[in-house]
């Protein structure tokens, strides 16, 4: 299978066509951005670490019965993925109060949330990814009511699987976002990525931030911390 022309370039990933219309190549770059692109840097090895981290997580989810986009690793920074018609909605689960939830509601950072909080956001950089609800999604035709219900169900299934996985590695899964798409057969499939770029992870003992907040907040050692998280989980970072 051959990589062909570029289909889409995001803030930290590039998607390419292949000579098979059912598959794409997903490339993780070293680009790192925050605050809707206001802060941008190149961080050595970040693309490689995120690519292998994402493959590891998606494999664990597949083994637990969650259908994902990822097929296989192609190189240190590239993965082969199924082509999906992506739904322009982010599904967010918050197990602990942090980030925008703290700013919006004035709650204390670190408060355990029971039950976890679920939120939808429209994936739109120009509008700064506004919060939306089921009615917006259905009314504007971004997803059907059945797909909305399926996204919620799958997102909470992922929460149960990954909270346990990270807990065993001495980490708290604070919050995360997921994106879904529809395959050629009409099935809802987990797409995009699951990396420290798109979730919050804290050390269970010290509450040290082990995710992209290290970049957002200028805490340093971003990639080194990602590597530590990967090693705790058992992600192989050997060269392919």
pLDDT tens digits, 21-51: 999 999 999 999 888 767 889 999 999 999 9
Q: Do domains 3-82 and 87-221 have the same CATH topology?
A: no
The per-residue pLDDT of the chain, averaged, comes to 96
**Mean pLDDT within 196-215:** 97
pLDDT digits (tens, 9 = 90+) for 52-97: 999 999 999 999 999 999 999 999 999 999 999 999 999 999 999 9
User: 165 is written with which tokens?
Assistant: 């996985």
Whether this prediction's pTM lies above 0.85 is answered by yes
Query: What one-character-per-residue DSSP string does 6-38 give?
Result: EEEE-SSEEEEEESSTTEEEEEE-SEEEETTTT
CATH topology for 87-221?
D-amino Acid Aminotransferase; Chain A, domain 1 (3.30.470)
Task: Give the pLDDT score at 40.
Answer: 87
Q: Strand pairing of 13-18 and 112-122? A: unpaired
pLDDT digits (tens, 9 = 90+) for 149-159: 999 999 999 99
C-alpha–C-alpha distance, residues 56 and 234, integer Å: 9
Domain ranges of the chain: 3-82, 87-221
CATH topology for 3-82?
Phosphorylase Kinase; domain 1 (3.30.200)
């Amino acid at each position: 299978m051959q990589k062909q022309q570029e289909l889409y370039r995001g803030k930290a990933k590039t998607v390419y066509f292949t000579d098979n219309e059912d598959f794409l190549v997903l490339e993780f770059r070293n680009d790192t951005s925050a605050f809707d692109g206001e802060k941008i840097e190149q961080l050595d090895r970040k693309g490689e670490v995120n690519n292998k981290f994402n493959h590891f997580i998606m494999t664990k989810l597949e083994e637990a019965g969650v259908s994902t986009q990822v097929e296989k690793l192609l190189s240190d920074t590239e993965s082969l993925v199924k082509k999906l018609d992506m739904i322009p909605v982010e599904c967010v689960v918050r197990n602990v109060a942090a980030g925008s939830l703290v700013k919006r509601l004035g709650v204390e950072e670190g408060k355990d949330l029971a039950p976890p909080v679920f939120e939808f956001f429209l994936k739109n950089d120009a509008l700064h990814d506004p919060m939306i609800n089921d009615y917006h999604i259905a009314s504007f035709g971004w997803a059907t009511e059945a797909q909305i219900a399926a996204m919620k169900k799958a997102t909470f299934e992922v929460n149960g699987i990954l909270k346990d996985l990270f807990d065993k590695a001495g980490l708290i899964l604070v919050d995360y976002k997921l994106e879904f798409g529809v395959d050629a057969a009409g099935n809802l499939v987990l797409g995009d990525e699951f990396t420290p770029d798109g979730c919050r992870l804290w050390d269970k003992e010290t509450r040290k931030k082990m995710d992209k907040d290290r970049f957002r907040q200028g805490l340093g050692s971003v990639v080194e911390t990602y590597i530590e998280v990967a090693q705790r989980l058992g992600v192989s970072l050997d060269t392919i």
